[in-house]
Amino acid sequence: MAEHRTMQRSALLDAARSLLSEGGTEALTFPALAERTGLARSSVYEYFRSRGAVVEELCAVDFPVWAAEVEDAMAAADTAEGKVEAYVRQQLTLVGDRRHRAVVAISASELDAGAREKIRAAHGGLVTMIGDALRDLGHEQPRLAAMMLQGVVDAAVRRLELGGAAEDPAVITDAAVSMALRGVRG
């Protein structure tokens, strides 16, 4: 029975990822989750008390995977500047990944304080990772520099999210990397 519940919960999270990816947070409704999974709407409520709870769980499950991919890309770089470039490039590469699309949609939505706090804590891990590289580059306030650097990444993510309305993804990524590296050199 517990295994069946785990499978249904997993199916609900997968459906939530798809809905967020296709239509943003407005698309994430309990009727839509029920329809996608073949569960009764009342069953969806047995797993999650609110949309915010679905979002919190998606963050808890998906963000660590995404952060680990960024961390791996940074670990493969030999220099502090290489780590900064990997930090930017890997996040922008993951924009096309369905898990990340869910995280982007979630970040853009109106969330309850608990969900927002979990996202902030998860982002905090990334900020800490890049802070070490920025310290190595001689930044006296690496945490502040990391927040600014993440702002460049977030702006590039929003630009990529526009799809055909914006520039080619490679152009956006290269511009973000260039801006990040010039900025972190001070």
- 146 DSSP assignment: H
pTM: 0.76
Q: Give DSSP secondary structure letters for 28-58.
A: --HHHHHHHHT--HHHHHHH-SSHHHHHHHH
pLDDT score for 109: 59
13-44 pLDDT, tens per residue? 999 988 887 887 788 899 999 999 999 999 99
pLDDT score for 154: 84
77-123 pLDDT, tens per residue? 999 999 999 999 998 888 777 666 666 666 655 566 666 676 667 67
